[in-house]
């Protein structure tokens, strides 16, 4: 199977499995999505979705967020982990949004990545899911599966993102990255992985993954 055939197989299989791709993080606008994605670092979407309603009940926009102290934010978000860094980031980026962007989340990678605690992956999620701008955020699931499928070297997430963007059609990036995440969670996890249940890897994966 050629690499282009592998890509077509992945796209077609994922489209059959996941014709709809709801965003896993609960939010109502670009700001609440940005905060939710920031909170999801080294945590789970399910855990974040239990905490964001508590935070957003007090502050669901930057103007209300800066009325809270960093300590108050940290106390609310503590269950998601890394709360000292994340609370400072949330407060800091909210202040910058007010001071530099009229309280609005900017629609550029450069401006987003200049915000405290916002890295390239977080910026990519916001660009793709809040604004519909093509991006390919790479999380641990995508990084793992691109390697298992023989579509990337697996050296680092930067290389994986480059490979994904090179191989997959640009117009499919925003939906496809979610489809791969859903597939990774359901059929190709890092732990407790059963190749027989993982039809994509079983069909196109690297030789060493074959049973």
CATH number at residue 177: 1.10.1670.10
- Whether 164 and 193 share a structural domain: yes
- Whether 119 and 145 share a structural domain: no
How many distinct structural domains can be found in the chain?
2
- Whether 51 and 124 share a structural domain: yes
Q: What is the pLDDT of residue 206?
A: 77
How does the average pLDDT of the chain come out, rounded? 96
Among 130, 164, 189, the domain-final residue is 130
- Whether 141 and 124 share a structural domain: no
- Whether 108 and 52 share a structural domain: yes
HSE (side-chain half, CA atoms, 13 Å) at 136: 23
Please say whether the beta carbons of 127 and 185 come within 8 A.
no
Confirm whether 194 is a catalytic residue. no
Q: What is the pLDDT of residue 47?
A: 97
- Whether 45 and 98 share a structural domain: yes
Q: What is the pLDDT of residue 166?
A: 97
Full residue range of the structural domain in which residue 46 is found: 30-130
Among 65, 98, 130, the domain-final residue is 130
Q: Give the residue from 132, 160, 128 showing the smallest Cα distance to 144.
A: 160
Q: What is the pLDDT of residue 210?
A: 47
User: CB atoms < 10 A from the CB of 110, how many?
Assistant: 8
Percent of the chain at pLDDT exceeding 90: 95
Catalytic residue among 6, 86, 139, 163: 139
- Whether 126 and 143 share a structural domain: no
- Whether 183 and 144 share a structural domain: yes
For 131-166, write each residue's pLDDT tens digit.
999 999 999 999 999 999 999 998 899 999 999 999
The Cα 20–Cα 98 span in angstroms is: 35
Among 75, 109, 130, the domain-final residue is 130
Q: What is the pLDDT of residue 207?
A: 54
Confidence of residue 43 (pLDDT cuts 50, 70, 90): very high
Distance spanning both ends of the chain, measured CA to CA: 18
Q: What is the pLDDT of residue 211?
A: 39
Catalytic residue among 6, 60, 86, 121: 121
């Amino acid at each position: 199977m050629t690499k282009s055939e592998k890509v077509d197989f992945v796209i077609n299989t994922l489209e059959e499995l996941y014709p709809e791709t709801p965003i896993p993080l609960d939010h109502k606008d670009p700001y609440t999505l940005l905060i939710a994605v920031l909170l999801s670092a080294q945590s789970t979407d399910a855990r974040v979705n239990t905490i964001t309603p508590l935070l957003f009940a007090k502050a669901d926009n930057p103007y209300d967020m800066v009325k809270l102290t960093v300590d108050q934010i940290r106390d609310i978000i503590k269950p998601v982990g890394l709360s000292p860094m994340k609370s400072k980031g949330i407060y800091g980026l909210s202040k910058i949004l007010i001071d530099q962007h009229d309280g609005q989340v900017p629609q550029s990678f450069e401006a987003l990545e200049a915000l405290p605690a916002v890295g390239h992956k977080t910026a990519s999620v916001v660009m793709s899911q809040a604004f519909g701008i093509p991006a390919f955020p790479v999380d641990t699931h995508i990084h793992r599966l691109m390697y298992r499928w023989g579509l990337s070297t697996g050296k680092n997430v930067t290389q994986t993102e480059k490979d994904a963007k090179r191989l997959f059609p640009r117009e499919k990036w925003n939906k496809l990255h979610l489809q791969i995440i859903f597939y990774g969670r359901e059929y190709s996890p890092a732990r407790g992985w059963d190749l027989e249940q993982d039809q994509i890897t079983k069909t196109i994966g690297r030789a060493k993954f074959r049973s």
